[in-house]
Each structure stands twice: as structure tokens, then as C-alpha cells.
């Protein structure tokens, strides 16, 4: 099966007008969610460090670093904007493969669009194609009999290949060049989950966007790769799939859109924490109690909620992104689950620290990745219980347009001010009608 060529032919023949309306609208939702996250993360310490490095190596000013008042070269802007969108773990998720496809994709597409005329429809079409290639590659690695090691960072593995496909569509690459672009992107796949709780957690998807843009630009200059880089012996799927589920890569291609299973996150934390966050929020909203009144908290979760987000004693905000213990304590103490609860000040809050020590987490095999149960035992003997599933922010229960817009404004208003942020979100919702996507155009971002 010539899987690489099959993907390339799909990308080459795809037309915006032929896409289902639901897929087209979902691409707008993805874009709105990403832009809000990029502004929300623009002042993150990881972004500041990365920006300083990029400026030291910077080429001609070609593309905008959102929320920073800086123009960087094409690859540098892709890296910085991708990192901004990922810095708070507030990006979107393909839960079944634990991937975050849009973080690298939109960063690369926006940088490219500043140098080349791109309509809103062409931009969104490339976004859909990039995310479709990424999620199908991710399924091929993780869906039985796919046996990708859970410690490999899926966005780092598949992001560059997907981005290369999307940029390649905008470049007008022919099928053979798209084959090379996807292969060059796949050759750069990498990253492991030990990067969690550090600045590298956001760097990996950001670098995937940079690598995918580079791959497409190389292929446009007839820089070659193997014609079957994905499926050949010792190729991408053989090495990372161990084995791979090759049919998952192309089954129903162009008829069933796996990218529709990408969902925006309602909370700035690892996706396996979200069911527990929602369960604790439900209890906090339904009952009146003080965190000091809590004798114990008992969480029942999917196995990966412990395997990937089970850090019991977080020391800082990076740790908190992968600590179900922290989020249970923070939510029950503060009755909220936003960026303030992800901050260092919350991680070290004495009330949160004290309650965190009374949180117990148990794996229950029957629970899915988007499910959790929570029980709060009060010192007066009361027992409060709730169950969540599917959680908000899963493909089965996605955030509404209004919720995505509220999330956008929560992040962008701090950078742009209320009025400009509201103008900006209006621009983003109207992307399908935009004649040109150009960050430097006066008024485009409000």
C-alpha cells in the first residue's frame, strides 16, 4: 500500500467547496481557539526565552510574533507563535492519540500567509488538511494493533508531516512534491513526554510547526525524500508504530474526517485531568463547604490520568499542568479552573497545598479517558459524590462557539484590551470570508 502517496493525492485533489459544512465550520473554531491561546501565552516565560534566542539568530523580518510587537523571520515566527499557543497547555487535543495538532499547524500557516497571498478559505482548507494528516498518522501509531510507546510525544511525531501537507497545499505542490514534503516532515518527528513540566512541553509542538514549514519549502525546491517514507521498512510507521495500524491511515479518507475528533480544551491542563476538574467543579458549585472542612478527596480516573498527569507534589506551574492532584485541590479550594489556578501562586498557596495532601487517586479500568468520578468526604461526616463522562472538551461533548469565544476573550483581553480583543475575535469568526490573511495588515488583529 503506497500510503504516503495516497495521503499526498488526497491533499492535492481536495477542494474547499467539497468539504462538509461541519468540517469547514470546525476549522474556524480551531482557528479562534488557537489565536486566543497564542495571545494568552505570548508573555509566558518560555516564550520570552525562546524569543531572545530567535532574535539573536533572526533573519529578515517576515512574520509577526503575536502579542509581542515583534517581527521575525518565517521559521522563527512559527516557532515563537507555536510556543505561545502551547505554553499554558490550553491548546486543543486529539484525545485518542494524545496529540495537539493545531498548535504547530496554525503557527506555520500564519507565518507563511504573511509572505504570500492566502485567502481565508485557502488558509482554513490547509488547516483542515494538516490536521487530518496529523490525526490519521497518530491513529495509525496508536490504534490497535498500533503500539507506539506512550512516552513518545505524538504532536512531535506527526506534527511536521501534517504541517508539511498543509503548507504544501498552499504552495501548490504537485503530488510527488507533496510525497517528499510529508516524508521530510516525518523524518523530523520526535519528542518524548519526559519534557512535561518544563518549557520543552510547549517547544515540541512549536518545533513541529517550524519543521513542517521547512519540509514543505524544501520540497518546493525539489529536495527529495523516499517516495514511501511513511510505510516502508524502517520508515516512520514501522519505527514508531511497532507495529502500526496502516489501514487507519487511509480508510475513508476524504469521506470521514478524523480532524473532527480534535476538541478545544476548557481548562489549562493536561487533557486527562479534565474529567476530574469538571467533577470537582460540579461538587464545588453544588455544595457549600470550605477547603479546610474537607477530610479527604477520592478520585477515580482512567489509567493515563495517573500515568501522564499523576504528579502528586507539584512545585511550580509547569508541574501543575500534569498534576491531577493539584487541580482537584485548586478547584475545590478556589471553585474555579482557569489560568489563575495554573499559576505558581496557586501551586504554592498554603490552602491548596494542604488540601492536595488529602487527595487520593485510584485507577478504575472501566473508566474512559474522558470520564472520572469524584468523592469529597467532609469532616462532619457528609459524603459528596459526582461522576463525569464524557467531559467538556472531549470530541463527544465539545465546547460551544460561545464557550470558545469566552475562552478567547479571557486570554486576549489581557494583551489587547477589551475592545480590540472583541474586534479581533470577530475577524477570526469571519475567516471564511477574508480576501487575504495578513497579520501585518492594518486593523486585521483589531
What is the DSSP code string of 119-150? Answer: -HHHHHHHHHHHHHHHHHHHHHHHSTT----T
pLDDT value, residue 111: 96
Sign, CA dihedral 17-12-81-22, equals positive
Q: How far is CA 115 from CA 91, 169, 438, in A?
A: 25, 15, 8
Q: Which residues pair with 360 in a beta bridge?
A: 298
Which of 216, 230, 128, 136 has the alpha carbon at shortest distance from 177?
Answer: 216
Residues 6+ apart with CB under 8 A from 355: 291, 294, 297, 329, 332, 333
User: Does residue 297 sit in helix, strand or coil?
Assistant: strand
Residue 315 CA to residue 323 CA, distance in Å, equals 10
**Residue range 151-156: average pLDDT?**
96
**Per-residue pLDDT at 115 exceeds 70:** yes
pLDDT > 70: percent of the chain: 98
Q: Which domains can be identified in the chain, with CATH numbers?
A: 3-266+399-433 (1.10.4100.10), 271-388 (3.30.1330.120)
pLDDT value, residue 262: 97
pLDDT value, residue 446: 37
**Per-residue pLDDT at 439 exceeds 70:** no
Residue 363 backbone dihedrals phi, psi, to 5 degrees: -80, 130
β-strands 70-72, 63-65 pairing? antiparallel
3-14 pLDDT, tens digit each: 999 999 999 999
pLDDT value, residue 270: 94
Query: In this structure, are residues 133 and 162 in contact, taking their beta carbons and an 8 Å threshold?
Result: yes
Q: How far is CA 127 from CA 24, 25, 252, 257, 264, in A?
A: 10, 12, 19, 13, 15
Residue 161 CA to residue 411 CA, distance in Å, equals 29
Residue 437: how many CA atoms within 13 Å on its side-chain side? 28
This prediction has a pTM of 0.95
pLDDT value, residue 1: 62
50-105 pLDDT, tens digit each: 999 999 998 999 999 999 989 999 999 999 999 999 999 999 999 999 999 999 99
Element (H, E) at 299: strand 294-301
Residue 70 backbone dihedrals phi, psi, to 5 degrees: -125, 150
Query: In this structure, are residues 317 and 410 in contact, taking their beta carbons and an 8 Å threshold?
Result: no
pLDDT value, residue 442: 47
pLDDT band for position 444 (cuts 50, 70, 90) = low
Q: Within its chain, how far is the Cα of 419 from the centroid?
A: 27
Residue 225 CA to residue 119 CA, distance in Å, equals 30
Residue 308 backbone dihedrals phi, psi, to 5 degrees: -115, -20
Residue 126 CA to residue 118 CA, distance in Å, equals 10
336-360 pLDDT, tens digit each: 999 999 999 999 999 999 999 999 9
Which of 205, 164, 217 has the alpha carbon at shortest distance from 186?
Answer: 164
User: Does residue 229 sit in helix, strand or coil?
Assistant: coil
Q: What is the mean pLDDT of the chain?
A: 95
**Per-residue pLDDT at 401 exceeds 90:** yes
> Integer distance in angstroms from the first to the last C-alpha of the chain?
48
Amino acid at each position: 500500500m503506497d500510503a504516503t502517496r495516497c495521503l499526498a493525492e488526497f491533499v492535492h485533489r481536495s477542494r474547499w467547496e467539497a468539504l462538509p459544512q461541519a468540517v469547514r465550520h470546525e476549522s474556524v473554531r480551531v482557528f479562534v481557539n488557537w489565536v486566543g491561546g497564542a495571545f494568552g501565552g505570548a508573555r509566558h516565560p518560555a516564550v520570552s526565552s525562546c524569543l531572545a534566542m530567535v532574535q539573536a539568530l533572526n533573519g529578515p523580518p517576515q512574520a509577526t510574533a503575536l502579542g509581542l510587537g515583534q517581527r521575525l523571520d518565517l521559521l522563527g515566527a512559527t516557532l515563537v507563535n507555536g510556543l505561545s499557543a502551547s505554553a499554558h497547555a490550553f491548546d486543543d487535543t486529539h484525545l485518542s492519540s494524545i496529540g495537539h495538532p493545531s498548535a504547530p499547524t496554525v503557527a506555520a500557516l500564519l507565518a507563511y500567509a504573511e509572505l504570500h497571498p492566502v485567502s481565508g478559505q485557502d488558509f482554513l482548507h490547509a488547516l483542515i488538511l494538516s490536521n487530518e494528516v496529523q490525526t490519521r498518522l497518530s491513529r495509525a501509531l496508536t490504534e490497535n494493533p498500533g503500539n507506539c510507546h506512550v512516552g513518545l510525544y505524538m504532536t512531535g511525531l506527526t506534527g511536521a508531516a501534517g504541517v508539511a501537507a498543509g503548507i504544501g497545499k498552499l504552495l501548490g505542490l504537485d503530488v510527488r512534491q507533496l510525497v517528499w514534503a510529508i516524508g521530510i516532515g516525518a523524518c523530523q518527528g520526535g519528542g518524548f513526554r519526559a519534557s512535561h513540566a518544563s518549557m520543552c512541553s510547549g517547544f515540541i509542538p512549536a518545533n513541529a510547526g517550524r519543521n513542517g514549514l521547512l519540509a514543505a519549502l524544501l520540497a518546493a525546491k525539489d529536495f527529495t525524500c523516499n517516495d514511501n517514507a511513511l510505510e516502508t521498512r524502517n520508515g516512520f510507521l514501522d519505527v514508531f508504530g511497532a507495529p502500526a495500524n496502516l489501514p487507519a491511515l487511509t480508510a475513508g479518507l476524504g469521506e470521514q474526517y478524523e480532524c473532527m475528533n480534535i476538541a478545544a480544551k476548557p481548562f489549562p491542563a493536561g487533557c486527562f485531568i479534565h474529567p476530574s476538574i469538571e467533577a470537582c467543579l460540579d461538587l464545588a458549585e453544588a455544595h457549600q463547604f470550605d477547603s479546610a472542612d474537607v477530610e479527604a478527596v477520592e478520585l477515580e480516573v482512567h489509567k493515563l490520568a495517573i500515568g501522564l498527569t499523576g504528579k502528586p507534589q507539584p512545585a511550580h506551574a509547569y508541574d501543575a499542568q500534569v498534576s491531577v492532584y493539584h487541580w482537584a485541590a485548586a478547584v475545590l479550594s478556589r471553585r474555579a479552573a482557569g489560568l489563575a489556578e495554573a499559576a505558581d501562586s496557586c501551586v504554592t498557596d498554603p490552602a491548596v497545598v494542604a488540601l492536595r495532601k488529602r487527595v487520593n487517586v485510584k485507577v478504575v479500568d472501566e473508566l474512559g479517558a474522558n470520564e472520572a468520578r469524584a468523592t469529597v468526604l467532609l469532616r462532619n461526616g457528609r459524603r459528596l459524590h459526582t461522576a463525569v463522562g464524557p467531559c467538556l472538551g472531549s470530541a463527544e461533548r465539545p465546547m460551544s462557539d460561545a464557550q470558545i469565544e469566552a475562552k478567547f476573550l479571557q486570554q486576549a483581553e489581557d494583551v489587547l484590551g477589551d475592545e480590540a480583543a472583541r474586534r479581533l475575535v470577530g475577524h477570526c469568526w469571519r475567516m471564511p470570508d477574508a480576501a487575504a490573511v495578513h497579520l501585518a495588515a492594518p486593523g486585521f488583529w483589531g
